[in-house]
Amino acid sequence: MWFKNLAIYHFTEPFTLSAEELEQKLQQMPFVPCGNQELFRFGWTAPLGKTSEQLVHSANGFFMLCGKKQEKVLPSAVINELLAERIQDAEDDLSRKPAKKERDNIKDELIFELLPKAFAFSKKTYAYIDPKGGWLIVDAASAKKAEELLSYLRKCLDTLPVTPLATKEKPSSTMTQWLITNQIPNNITIEDECELRSPEDEGGIIRCKRHDLSLPEIKNHLDTGKQVIKLAISWADRLSFVIDENLTIKRLKFLDLIQEQASEIETADEAEQFDVDFSIMSLELAGFLPRLLELFGGKQ
C-alpha cells in the first residue's frame, strides 16, 4: 500500500487511542451499501480488503484506516430529458405552466423513481495516523476529499484535534527563491516541472513540464514577479513528488532505494506484503515529514 498523494495534518493534542480503542470507535460506522433511496453511503472498511475484517491495520505503532464511499449514478442528461417530458405533461394537464415548487416536486418524484435503478460505484480513501510523530496523513489529491474523510472520522471519535500543515515560511516564496538563487537545500533536487502564477488577482499561470528550470526564460518569469505555486522535487534519492503552495504532495513516488528494500523482504501472501509496504512507507514518511517542515522554516 503505497500512497500517491499526501494531505498532511498535524495533531494539536496527543493522539492517545490504542489500535483496539480506535477499532471500537470505527465499528460505529462500518461500510454498508446504499439503500434503494440513498444517493450515497460512507463507512469504514478493512484496509486489507477481503483478507481481514479489522478496520484498523496496525504496524510499528502506525494505524492505517480506509474509508469507503458508494454513490449512485444519475446522469444529469437523463434526468433533464425525463424531467422536461414530465413538466410538459403537467402543463398539459393543468393548462398552465407548473410553478417552481411544483417543478421541484416533479423532479424529486422522478429521482425517487430512478434511484433504485441507478448504477452504484465505490471509491476508497486511505489514511494513517502516526501517534508518535503527531501526524494524520490522507492519500487524497484534494483538500475536499481529505476533509470528507476527516469529518466522518471526527463523528466516530467525537473529536479530532488536527490542523492542516502550516509552516512559518510561505511555501510559494521559499520555492520561488530556490529557483531565483539556485540555492537548493541539502538532499533536495529540483526536477523538471513547475507552475508559476502572477501575484495579482486571477493572475496568469505558466505551466512547465519536462523543462530545465534553471534556464533564463524561467528566471525571466520570476523576475517579473511570478511565484512558484507547484514544484517537482526529489528528496535524498528516496522520494519524488510535486508539492504545491498549500504543502499538499501529489504524484508521490517511492524511489528505487525504497522499492529495493521492500522487495528484499519475502512475504507469504497479500496480507504480509501489505504489512511490509505499510511499515516501510510509514517509517520513511516519519523521517521525511520533519525535514519537510525544516525546508519551510518549521511548523507555524
Is the same domain home to 192 and 108?
A: no
Residue pair 172/245 in contact by the 8 Å Cβ criterion = yes
| Cell numbers that stand for 126 in this block | 486511505
CA distance 82 to 94: 18
Q: What is the pLDDT of residue 13?
A: 97
- pLDDT tens digits, 107-161: 888 888 888 888 899 999 999 999 999 999 999 999 999 999 999 999 999 999 9
Beta strands in 74-204 (DSSP E): 119-130, 135-138, 162-164, 188-197
Sign of CA dihedral 278, 284, 287, 290: negative
90 part of a folded domain: yes
Over range 27-36, report the average pLDDT. Answer: 94
Q: By 3-state DSSP, what share of the chain in percent is helix, strand and coil, each rounded to 5?
A: 40, 30, 35
CA distance 17 to 56: 12
Q: CB atoms < 10 A from the CB of 243, how many? A: 23
Q: Is 61 left (phi over 0), alpha (psi -120 to 50) or beta?
A: left
**DSSP count for the chain of H helices, then E strands:** 8, 12
Is the same domain home to 123 and 156?
A: yes
Q: CB atoms < 10 A from the CB of 65, how many? A: 24
Over range 171-177, report the average pLDDT. Answer: 96
Over range 204-213, report the average pLDDT. Answer: 92
Q: What is the pLDDT of residue 202?
A: 73
125 part of a folded domain: yes
pTM greater than 0.85: yes
Over range 14-40, report the average pLDDT. Answer: 95
Domain of residue 136: give its range. 7-73+118-164
Is the same domain home to 185 and 224?
A: yes
| Domain boundary residue, one of 129, 164, 199 | 164
Over range 58-87, report the average pLDDT. Answer: 91
CA separation, residue 100 to residues 87, 92, 95, 185 (Å)? 11, 16, 16, 61
Q: What is the pLDDT of residue 158?
A: 94
CA distance 84 to 52: 48
2 part of a folded domain: no
Over range 81-101, report the average pLDDT. Answer: 88
Q: Which of 3, 53, 41 is closest to 123 using CA atoms?
A: 41
- Name the average pLDDT for the chain: 93
Paired strand residues for 137 = 8, 128
129 part of a folded domain: yes
- pLDDT tens digits, 264-296: 998 988 889 999 999 999 999 999 999 999 999
300 part of a folded domain: no
Is the same domain home to 62 and 36?
A: yes
How many structural domains does the chain have?
Answer: 3
